[in-house]
Structure 1
Amino acid sequence: MNTKNKLKIFNDPIYGFITIPNALIFDLIEHKYFQRLRRITQMGLSYLVYPGAHHTRFHHALGCMYLMQKAVRILRFKGVTISEEEENALYIAILLHDIGHGPFSHAMEHSIVNGITHEEISLLFMEQLNVEFNGTLTLAIQIFKGEYRRKFFNQLISSQLDMDRADYLKRDSFYTGVAEGNINSERLITMLNVVDDELVVEEKGVYSVEKFLTARRLMYWQVYLHKTSLVAEQLIIRVLKRAKELTKQGFVLPASKALSYFLNNDIDKSTFTKEVLDVFSRLDDYDIISALKDWQHSDDFVLSNLCQMIVERELLKIKIKNKKHKKERLKEKIEELKDKYNVSEYEAQYFVFDGEITNQAYQRKKERINILYKNGKITDIVKASDHLNLKVLSKPVTKYYICYPKDKL
């Protein structure tokens, strides 16, 4: 009988060799829901700024699992009891934590579907996989939802110092070439411990945490909230919104079956059934890119221009300031566009708009990063650190942007 070898090894550019711990994890990775992540970029349209940023959610999920394996080994070495069942559930939960991301990630949440986040879609995927895998994901789902009695398990999946952030900062730094984000994630994990079922960082790890938070702040300003990435994402949102509007008006736009389904139907949390999930699982970046290439030749002025901007990287001009832009400036730009191209005010607002962005590297009120001293005392990182910037990093910084066309569309 020909049996498949499920003890595979991935060669990762960040960590080297990543081993698959068991056959169940292998089967989950092989599943079509997970394989789809190969076709979802980790950083959306950031490659328009950083040409190397073409890595995928698939890369990231495997990296997170690798770090979780390391975390389990370290915590067990320090005397924290983790059963084999719990260990496996941690691997499954972190592996599938991003499985609900759609094409170009956050852009999709504001256009193709409404009122449902990628985390909620991830949970729907996990519940469906749990049915297919005869209930073997039940504990992983409990941990993912934060319902398991051991709180630190969920903190390893989703907190201010989780395996998700530990991987994406280092990975995104590597692929963009932005050295400021290159954290020592493996040292951070080596400094982890557990007290009263909550995650803490040993005193020796204070400087690693400082570097982690500083790197997070810099990566947000330099990469995730880079003005070109920001305007490109806004254009994708507007493309999909316009396509949906035109479809409702009776226009037939060329699109894949999966994309057509979401253009023709209003999907929210209450209507996200198993059938919708199956269609969603067939939707990826390629559907959107293919549609952009077709729609740039559309008869609709708005849709064709928005698509052309992205395809040809002739994006809108964007200005970011610390203060809100005057509404008169926005109105002035809208009037200019109306006169120049004979479009309605509603259509002009697709090309002229404003908004705000916020960066907060550390949220003290949410869930703290606690430092464990040798005498057993536990203190929040801001108090434990002599880094003056950490207090500043825990305050949200808001900036305001305005977008409008350059000289001509």
Structure 2
Amino acid sequence: MNELQQYNQRKIVNDPVHGFISIPDNILFELIEHPYLQRLRRIKQLGLTSLVYPGAVHTRFQHTLGAFYLMGSAISVLRNKGHLISPDESTAAHAAILMHDIGHGPFSHALEQTLIENLSHEDISLLLMNRLNEHFKGQLSQAIDVFKGHTGKLFLHQLVSSQLDMDRLDYLKRDSFFSGVSEGIIGSDRIIKMLEIKNNELVIEAKGIYSIEKFLVARRLMYWQVYLHKTALVAEKMLINALRRAKFLSLNNAEVPAPPFLSTFLKNRFCTNDFLSNPTILDDFTMLDDNDIMSALKLWRDHNDPVLSRLSSSLLDRNLLRIEISDTPFDQEKLMTLKKETHIKNIGPDEMDYFVFTDHISNSAYNVGQENINILYKDGTIKDISYASDMLDHTAFAKTVNKYVLCYPKSIDR
């Protein structure tokens, strides 16, 4: 490769959240240009949340570049504080954060257990990382070790995956920006400047404790106001039900038109061994994106199956089910009464579960004991943020909050 070609690969990307993002290394540029990363341009970061917040149409590709930028900032801060991070280690950490989302399917978390059962997006990410490593002739081995935490410098893994990683610092700020929900705004620059390393792990200097408190509060608010907003939640449940119905019909030899790569997953139940033994399955997965799902819904709008047709047209027209949220489980007798009271043209009682159902959601802003966010004091002592903070009640803030949802057609007046 000549000098001009090398120079042309050192691109600068203009990001609306962080400003200009430089790509300092050729292999990182080539990784970004790979089809596995480019596919993320066609997957929305927040799935169907744009039905609530119209501006929330940003992609996982944008988020990936944002996390990549923050990784560079974090490594620069740690180096300036005297910690040795070699150029190879820096490249590995940057590559790991670039690849952290490549296993996401269409509409992200919503479809993990619908199209593909018992295989998480993290599992698929690792399969794709290994394939990328073959493509790059082993140059990503160290990046994969960083992603897995199999590295002598644990703090590099924590920058990629922990309760204060570059992933979270970017998505909170980015999702807040595009949704317009100001409660999610965090001081990511300040947090990164407060990063330190103690006993080979990431810690936060004591003077950054208020920024961490703000980060945790913002995360809690964003979950209930954006990520688990009831309208986005019911739309996601309806999409899952539509795909569940399409898969049921396909597995029972009904004709269900769909884009070819989506059809592969509707007509088959793949497990981990299938992905490992048949490389074409993973190839088909890498061709799936949000466009396949939206195209399928348009095809299914006029399907002769009334369940699939109604769910698809309702999603396309934003004619969603009603949703109620409670702190306690809904009474099963009431659920059965609702099913009996619901009358939908051509929908039988055995199919009413697609339109009247309960589910539960949970969230915890901070998980004590799982790679804690530790505060470093000037005397060298370390305290977990939930104990160091004079604002956060550690018993309440680290508690998992469970809520229960009830969905049913709006035609029923309760």
Q: Give 1:300's aligned amino acid.
A: D
Q: How does 1:10-409 map to 2 (within 5 A)?
A: 10-273=13-276, 274-337=279-342, 340-341=344-345, 343-407=347-411
Preserved CA contact (<8 Å) 2:158 2:164: yes
Asked whether the 8 Å contact 2:159–2:165 carries over to 1, the reply is yes
Distance apart, 1:276 and its partner CA: 1.0
Distance (whole Å) between structure 1 residues aligned to residue 188 and residue 356 of structure 2:
41
SS at match of 2:47: coil
What's the CA shift for 1:141? 0.5
Q: Which digits, 9 at most, give the CA deviation of each residue in 1:226-258, with x for residues without a partner?
A: 001111111111111110111122222221111
CA distances 1:68-117 after superposition (whole Å, capped 9, x unpaired): 00000000011111111110000000011001100001122121000010
RMSD: 1.3
Question: For the residues of structure 2 that align with 1:277 and 1:110, how far apart are their CA atoms?
Answer: 16
Q: Deviations over 1:129-183 (max 9, x none)?
A: 0000000000110111111122111111111000000000000000000000000
Aligned residue type for 1:365: G
SS of aligned partner of 1:115:
coil
User: In structure 2, what is the Cα distance between the partners aligned to 1:199 and 1:224?
Assistant: 27
- Distance in 2, Cα, partners of 1:146 & 1:344: 51
Q: Distance in 1 between matches of 2:190 and 2:379?
A: 22
Tell me, what secondary structure is at the counterpart of 2:9? coil
Judge which range, 214-223 or 379-388, deviates more: 379-388
Cα distance in 1 for residues equivalent to 2:176 and 2:284: 33
Q: Which runs of 5+ in 1 are unaligned?
A: none
Residue 340 of structure 1 and its aligned partner are, at CA, apart by 4.9
Q: What SS does the corresponding residue of 1:27 show, helix, strand or coil?
A: helix
- Residues 251 and 268, structure 2, Cα contact 8 Å, conserved in 1: no
Structure 2 gaps of 5+ residues are none
- Structure 2 contact 301–308 (Cα < 8 Å) conserved: yes
The one-letter code of the counterpart of 2:308 is L
Question: Which string of whole-angstrom CA distances, capped at 9 and with x for unpartnered residues, describes residues 335-373 of structure 1?
Answer: 123x55453333100111101111200001322110000
**Alpha-carbon separation, structure 2, partners of 1:390 and 1:165:** 20
Matched length:
407
Separation in 1, partners of 2:349, 2:382: 57
Cα distance in structure 1, aligned partners of 2:22 and 2:93: 15
Identity across aligned pairs (percent)?
A: 53
CA distance in 1, matches of 2:47, 2:388: 36
Deviation at 1:389, TM superposition (A): 4.3
Instruction: Give the TM-score taking structure 1 as reference length.
Output: 0.97
Could you tell me how far 1:294 is from its partner in structure 2?
A: 1.1
Asked if 2 retains the 8 angstrom alpha-carbon contact of 1:210 and 1:390, the reply is no
**What is the rounded CA distance, in whole Å, between the counterparts of 1:365 and 1:295 in structure 2?**
46
Give the TM-score taking structure 2 as reference length: 0.96
Quick check: 2:213–2:392 contact (8 Å CA) kept in 1?
A: no
